[in-house]
């Protein structure tokens, strides 16, 4: 399986994450990729291939122009305003303040374009986000060229990013960008399976009223887990998209067998839908020792996850999302791909 990767992701190396009232070293860190590359190599899963650069128009089909402009200029504006630390929002257009106006000062813009406050922005954050989307596009192209599987080893991740908001460590929704590219290049119906521990709120919102993408997610119940405000079972799609959104919120302590029963339901729904390609938002934060999550999947069980995903027998594009047990993420990721190829 071709693996699309660039070491340049490490330019996004923020020093701060607002967590528990403290500024800690971010869970979504560059080291994650080192461990993944090492395990992929050890398992001989495929060649690492550099991404090509695609026109920005592919990303502009998913994200709004004003959001992307904000992303590109955020760090310069924050510094020009004399701020000392990394860019973190502190004010939001909350339920009681509903003016549609977008503020001009960077502090106001941050809250407008942020859906959460844990994700700091610094020099090269935007650059790495764009690079990450080019990794997803290059991988999607590989599927368009006829490969039956490909892995976009992208960082920063994307599934929390919506049309015009960042957060949850995500800036550009790589899975959504790749999905749109597949639809623009010969595929008709995309099954988008999000197996990250957290609900893929951004991806769901982007495709919620569309029937050319069937989004399904298995995740920690949002009554207790980030992103809290989306991801419930009653969210089934809207308009033309009604019936093409399937959420499986699960409680803390969920084991692999309980998890797999939900994946089975999603795969049955994808088959009935008539999907001709699958995109997997591959988060490994369902791991038993993940520091910020609460499922109980074991390293060996990721082999079964890969095998199960392969049973759909569709061309499959894997896109890296979360996973924060840094020393185990390599083998967990490699096992999914190994299981898939078996
Ligand atoms: N104090 C992804 O997995 N909450 N994003 C962090 C830690 C945000 C996860 C809590 C989690 C975002 C791509
Ligand atoms: Zn996650």
pLDDT at 71: 98
> What mean pLDDT, rounded, does the chain reach?
98
Q: How many other C-beta atoms lie within 10 A of the C-beta of residue 211?
A: 15
Which residues does ligand 1 sit against, CB inside 6 Å? 19, 118, 157, 160, 168-170, 196, 198, 226, 283, 285, 292, 321-322
Q: Is the pTM of this model over 0.95?
A: yes
pLDDT at 331: 98
Residues at Cβ < 5 Å from ligand 2 ion: 196-198, 283, 285, 322
- For residues 41-64, average pLDDT: 98
- Between the CA of 277 and the centroid of ligand 2 the distance, in Å, is 23
Domain ranges (residues) in the chain:
2-12+29-51+135-341
279, 175 Cβ separation under 8 angstroms:
yes
Query: Is 198 a residue of the active site?
Result: no
DSSP 8-state code for residue 10: G
Among the listed residues 143, 146, 149, 169, the one whose alpha carbon sits nearest the alpha carbon of residue 158: 169
> What are the backbone angles phi and psi of residue 285, rounded to the nearest 5°?
-85, 10
- For residues 215-220, average pLDDT: 99
- For residues 264-282, average pLDDT: 99
- For residues 219-226, average pLDDT: 98
pLDDT at 186: 98
Q: How confident is the model at residue 52 (pLDDT cuts 50, 70, 90)?
A: very high
Task: Give the C-alpha separation, 289 to 324, whole Å.
Answer: 9
Tell me the per-residue pLDDT of 327-339, one tens digit each, with 9 for 90 and over.
999 999 999 999 9
pLDDT at 296: 98
- Between the CA of 159 and the centroid of ligand 2 the distance, in Å, is 8
pLDDT at 37: 98
Nearest CA to ligand 1 atom 1: 19
pLDDT at 145: 98
Nearest CA to ligand 1 atom 9: 168
pLDDT at 323: 98
pLDDT at 318: 99
1, 149 Cβ separation under 8 angstroms:
yes
Kindly report the CATH number that applies to the domain delimited by 2-12+29-51+135-341.
3.40.800.20
Tell me the per-residue pLDDT of 148-185, one tens digit each, with 9 for 90 and over.
999 999 999 999 999 999 999 999 999 999 999 999 99
Q: How many other C-beta atoms lie within 10 A of the C-beta of residue 80?
A: 10
**Residue 93 structure tokens:** 């257009």
Atom of ligand 1 nearest to the CA of 20: 1
230, 205 Cβ separation under 8 angstroms:
yes
In the set 9, 63, 159, 160, the catalytic residue is 160
**Residue 17 structure tokens:** 């994450």
8, 128 Cβ separation under 8 angstroms:
yes
Mutation to probe ligand 1, out of 19, 27, 201 (largest number of atoms < 8 A from CB) = 27
């Amino acid at each position: 399986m071709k693996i699309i990767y660039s070491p340049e992701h490490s330019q996004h190396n923020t020093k701060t994450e607002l967590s528990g009232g403290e500024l800690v070293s971010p869970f979504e860190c560059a080291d994650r990729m080192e461990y993944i590359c090492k395990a992929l190599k050890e398992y001989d899963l495929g060649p690492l291939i550099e991404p090509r650069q695609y026109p920005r128009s592919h990303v502009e089909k998913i994200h709004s122009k004003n959001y992307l402009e904000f992303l590109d200029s955020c760090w310069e504006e924050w510094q020009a305003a004399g701020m000392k630390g990394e860019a973190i929002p502190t004010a939001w257009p909350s339920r009681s303040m509903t003016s549609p106006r977008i503020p001009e000062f960077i502090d106001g813009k941050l809250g407008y374009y942020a859906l959460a406050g844990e994700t700091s922005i610094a020099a090269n954050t935007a650059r790495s986000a764009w690079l990450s989307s080019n990794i997803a596009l290059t991988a999607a192209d590989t599927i368009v060229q006829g490969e039956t599987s490909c892995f976009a080893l992208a960082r920063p991740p994307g599934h929390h990013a919506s049309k015009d908001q960042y957060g949850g460590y995500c800036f550009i929704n790589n899975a959504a960008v790749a999905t749109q590219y597949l639809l623009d290049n010969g595929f008709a119906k995309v099954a988008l399976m999000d197996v990250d521990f957290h609900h893929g709120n951004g991806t769901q919102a982007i495709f919620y009223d569309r029937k050319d993408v069937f989004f399904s997610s298995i995740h920690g119940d949002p009554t207790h887990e980030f992103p809290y405000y989306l991801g419930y079972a009653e969210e089934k799609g809207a308009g033309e998209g009604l019936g093409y959104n399937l959420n499986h919120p699960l409680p803390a302590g969920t084991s692999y067998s309980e998890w797999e029963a939900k994946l089975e339901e999603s795969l049955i729904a994808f088959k009935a839908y008539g999907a001709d390609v699958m995109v997997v938002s591959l988060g490994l934060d369902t791991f038993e020792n993940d520091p910020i999550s609460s499922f109980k999947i074991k390293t060996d069980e990721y082999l079964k996850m890969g095998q199960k995903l392969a049973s759909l027998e569709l061309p499959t594009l894997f896109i890296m999302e979360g996973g924060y047990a840094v020393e185990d993420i390599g083998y967990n990721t490699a096992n999914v791909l190994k299981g898939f190829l078996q």
